[in-house]
């Protein structure tokens, strides 16, 4: 499962390819936050809250590498193959486990700023659903 979030360094193209292949063949949950270079306050909040909630709700999974969060700039050439494989063409928040993909973009825009507890609840529900599969 994958959820995308990241504010700092970008992984190499080879690392992204390896991550994508590994995720497709494992029980690992990946959270991805895909974005462009120019971002609004809401976009930054979605990323920050998603990462915060994943770390708070699943500290052991994060620590053990069974759940990860990456923020990926769609304008970075190294990110484009993964974005294409996941069908991403614009800003989005995805949770991926193997071939299962959950898009939480709409929920992020609806709740991250005005009802953050609701956003946290949705993330918890979706990740828990992937853990039992």
Summarised one tens digit per residue, pLDDT across range 18-44 is: 555 544 457 899 999 999 999 999 999
Beta strands in the chain (DSSP E): 2-3, 29-35, 67-73, 92-97, 100-103
Residue 83 domain boundaries: 2-131
Structurally, the chain folds into a number of domains equal to 1
Summarised one tens digit per residue, pLDDT across range 70-111 is: 999 999 999 999 999 999 999 999 999 999 999 999 999 999
Rounded to an integer, what distance in angstroms lies between the CA atom of residue 44 and that of residue 31? 15
Least confident of 19-23, 54-58, 128-132: 19-23
CATH number where 19 lies: 3.40.30.10
Which of 49, 18, 17, 20 is closest to 33 using CA atoms?
A: 49
Rounded to an integer, what distance in angstroms lies between the CA atom of residue 51 and that of residue 54? 5
Q: If you ran DSSP here, which 8-state letter would residue 26 be given?
A: S
């Amino acid at each position: 499962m994958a959820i995308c979030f990241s504010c700092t360094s970008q992984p190499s193209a080879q690392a992204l390819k390896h991550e994508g292949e590994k995720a497709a063949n494992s029980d690992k949950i990946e959270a991805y936050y895909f974005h462009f270079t120019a971002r609004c306050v809401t976009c930054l909040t979605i990323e920050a809250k998603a990462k915060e909630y994943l770390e708070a709700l699943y500290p052991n999974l994060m620590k053990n590498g069974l759940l990860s969060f990456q923020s990926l700039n769609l304008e970075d050439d190294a990110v484009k193959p993964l974005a294409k494989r996941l069908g991403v063409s614009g800003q989005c928040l995805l949770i991926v486990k193997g071939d299962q993909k959950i898009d939480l973009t709409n929920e992020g825009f609806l709740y991250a700023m005005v009802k953050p507890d609701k956003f946290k609840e949705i993330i918890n529900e979706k990740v828990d659903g992937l853990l039992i599969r």
